[in-house]
Homo-oligomer: A and B are copies of this chain.
């Protein structure tokens, strides 16, 4: 991996704070990034890009080519959240977030699910997950039903037909499956579960299945399993400890990573990386949660998901020790936090303080 082979000295960051609680949580993420790298001789320089609802409302622009080109010139991207009720559904998602993932070829959408000590799960964990929850979902990020290959005919009439095409290629599936195997191999349990629905989506499903079988030959020490997506959701509720690494398509990944976030203590803690492992374009780190306009600007948002995304960002840059320190600081903070309600910046301050 290019990025990992040459740990950067300076960090040249593009920041897309976005809408709603995005700016607040990103502020805390940056605070922690500064604290984690302080004294290392690293200079963190960041450029802010004002993409999101405000820009669209003012100018009708989503992601201008010139901005995309500038963003491309950075080492890495930190994103808060995109979306606002003032903008019709789909405009910012299909205009900013998904174009970033697609243009920068973020084919590995990495989403860890870990239940930290002291964090409450909606599950009766003592019964259903006595050994804890600690798995990672490798969600494909550039294909599947997300390609935007849909249309409608006779729209708005009784004869309307709307289609959505899931497009899956051997090239696209193979590269993400290989990444998932490599990640499974690097973990103690070395276990990989493919999640799909090949009994119904036979063409896409069999492509995924064959690819896992074939790429698996390169990783003889990794054990593989298969679950239909519907059955996988049952196990996520009744026996999440069975999972180590999950690899799945873009839409199934979207769904199961939200369940994963829920059972691991909530969307306020769920981090993610949109990774281009080739290093040919910057990877992008973002909390899984959305812009939560209802609580924006009130200091109520939990910045932990963004802070854990910063840990993933550091890890991606090969700064493994700093990444581990941030995660440990978050773990300690969560263990102490209990039922206590703290402001967004208080949480950022507390985590940053543990790093100095």
Contacts and interface: CB of A to CB of B under 8 A. Distances in A.
Contact of A122 (B124, B159, B209): B124
Interface of A: 83, 89-90, 93-94, 98, 120-124, 127-128, 145-146, 150-152, 154-171, 174, 197-207, 209-210, 229-231, 233-234, 236-238, 251, 254-259, 261-263, 266-267
B233 A233 contact: yes
Given A122-B128, A230-B255, A262-B237, A90 B163 contact: no
A171 B199 contact: no
A284 to B, nearest CB: 17
A156 B169 CA distance: 11
Contacts of A198: 89-90
Given A200-B251, A234-B267, 16 more contacts: A89-B209, A90-B198, A90-B205, A94-B200, A122-B237, A122-B238, A145-B200, A150-B202, A152-B207, A158-B171, A158-B174, A163-B168, A233-B256, A233-B259, A234-B262, A238-B262
A89 B123 contact: no
Given A170-B157, A200-B93, A254 B230 contact: yes
A89 to B, nearest CB: 5
Given A229-B255, A233-B255, A258-B234, A201 B164 contact: yes
Contacts of A206: 89-90, 152, 162
Which of A152, A209, A230: most chain B Cβ within 10 A?
A: A230
A150 B156 CA distance: 26
A206 B121 CA distance: 34
4 shortest A-B CB distances, which residue pairs? Answer: A230-B258, A160-B170, A150-B203, A162-B203
B157 A162 contact: no
Contact of A90 (B170, B199, B266): B199
A116 to B, nearest CB: 17
A70 to B, nearest CB: 26
Contact of A146 (B171, B200, B255): B200
A188 to B, nearest CB: 25
A334 B265 CA distance: 31
Given A165-B163, A201-B150, A203-B152, A237 B255 contact: no
Contacts of A89: 198-199, 202, 205-206, 209
B251 A197 contact: yes
Contacts of A155: 207
Nearest to A144: B164
B93 A203 contact: no
A204 B170 contact: no
A164 B198 CA distance: 11
A19 to B, nearest CB: 13
Nearest to A158: B170
B161 A167 contact: yes
26 contacts: A83-B199, A90-B198, A94-B199, A94-B200, A121-B124, A123-B124, A145-B164, A145-B166, A145-B200, A150-B201, A152-B206, A156-B210, A157-B170, A159-B171, A161-B167, A162-B168, A163-B165, A163-B166, A164-B166, A164-B204, A165-B166, A229-B254, A230-B258, A238-B262, A255-B255, A259-B259
